[in-house]
Amino acid sequence: MSKFDAKKEIENIVAWIQEWFSNNGPKASAVIGISGGKDSTIVAALLVKALGKERVVGVMMPNGEQKDISDSQKVVEFLGIRNYTVNIAEAFEGEMNALRAAGVEPGKDAIINTPPRLRMATLYAIAQSLPEGGRVANTCNASEDYVGYSTKYGDAAGDFSPCSDFLVGEMLQIGDELGLPTELIHKTPSDGLSGMSDEDKLGFTYAMLDKYVRTGEIEDLVIKEKIDRLHRLNLHKLQTIPMYKRG
């Protein structure tokens, strides 16, 4: 892969964010969910660089207790942005109980994907409650998008997406160039629920995935098939809703 110029890409992203807001909310704030992981930290930092910290609102959304909530708090303090904490536990339990009351036992995927969708609903509720108006930032990256490692209408949603064309390895370089805390940018990514890292759950490393996405090269054919299968199964997450057209 060709050398990645993180400094130049930061300049390009910042300019793009500024132009997008000038066309889609000249006075609006950017609203972003802060998980304490690399992607939300990096996107939040880019928003501050583009719009100023006064126009960035960070939202922490634990589902009950979150063991690494201190990382999220460290992000908002480091960036100096306005922030809110909205615990979604009651909403999540309410939804699960409502399903059971209706005679539907929540399936595994519903239990996993409902919290991200509640978080996205929370971000939009806050965005639409700000006096100046808000626009919700998507924090996905190209590596995770390629294999569908996101929740449709959850963390895969948003009004604008500054970093969805950058691989995980490139995101790390952007984070380092921005001078963000190493312990946040390079901490092992996980869902905080299974006790496994994201790479353990996927069954391959992001470095292998990044190389394959950019070059098509991969040595392990079993992993190649796994990546290809995940891409095929989850491609719908990257597409607009299929629409029947008359005639």
Angle of CA points 60, 240, 212, to nearest 5°: 80
What is the pTM (predicted TM-score) of this model?
A: 0.94
Distance between first and last Cα of the chain: 45
147-201 pLDDT, tens digit per residue, is 999 999 999 999 999 999 999 999 999 999 999 999 999 988 776 555 678 888 8
Angle of CA points 67, 73, 79, to nearest 5°: 150
Q: What's residue 193's pLDDT?
A: 56
Cβ(96)–Cβ(87) below 8 Å: no
203-217 pLDDT, tens digit per residue, is 999 999 999 999 999
Residue 84 burial (10 A CB sphere; 0-12, 13-18, 19+) = middle
CATH class of 6-238: alpha beta
Q: What's residue 28's pLDDT?
A: 98
Q: What's residue 2's pLDDT?
A: 63
**With a cut of 50, which residues of the chain have pLDDT below it?**
1
Cβ(237)–Cβ(152) below 8 Å: yes
Q: What is the chain's alpha carbon radius of gyration, rounded to the nearest angstrom?
A: 18
Per domain, the residue ranges of the chain are 6-238
